């Protein structure tokens, strides 16, 4: 069985973006996951613990998940037995 890189990439991108967005809101309003969010400030440009940062995290999470999903599906299709047809 082959994986669709487009479907896997979009699914992982949406999931990662939403997780990043929710994590930022939790850090902002509930003071939860603040240490992890502070680590991400050094990794992602324009990311901060704020509403604008939550949107930036949503975008960065989507991009990271999309690229990661595309690479994962491509590697899976390359390595999985029976995928070469």
User: pLDDT (tens digit, 9 = 90+) per residue, 4-42?
Assistant: 999 999 999 999 999 999 999 999 999 999 999 999 999
Domain extents in the chain: 5-79
C-alpha span between 43 and 84 (Å, rounded)? 37
pLDDT at position 81: 80
Burial 64-74 (b: 16+ CB within 10 A, else e): bbbeebbebbe
Could you tell me the CA-to-CA distances from 27 to 1, 30, 47, 64 in Å, in that order?
A: 40, 6, 13, 20
Q: Which helix (H) or strand (E) holds 54?
A: helix 51-79
Q: What is the mean pLDDT of residues 54-65?
A: 97
First to last CA, the chain: 10
């Amino acid at each position: 069985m082959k994986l669709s890189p487009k479907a896997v990439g979009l699914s992982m991108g949406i999931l990662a973006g939403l997780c990043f967005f929710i994590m930022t809101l939790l850090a902002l309003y509930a003071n939860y996951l603040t240490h992890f969010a502070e680590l991400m400030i050094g990794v992602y440009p324009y990311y901060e613990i704020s509403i604008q940062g939550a949107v930036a995290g949503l975008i960065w999470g989507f991009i990271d998940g999309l690229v990661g999903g595309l690479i994962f599906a491509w590697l899976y299709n390359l390595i999985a037995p029976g995928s070469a047809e």
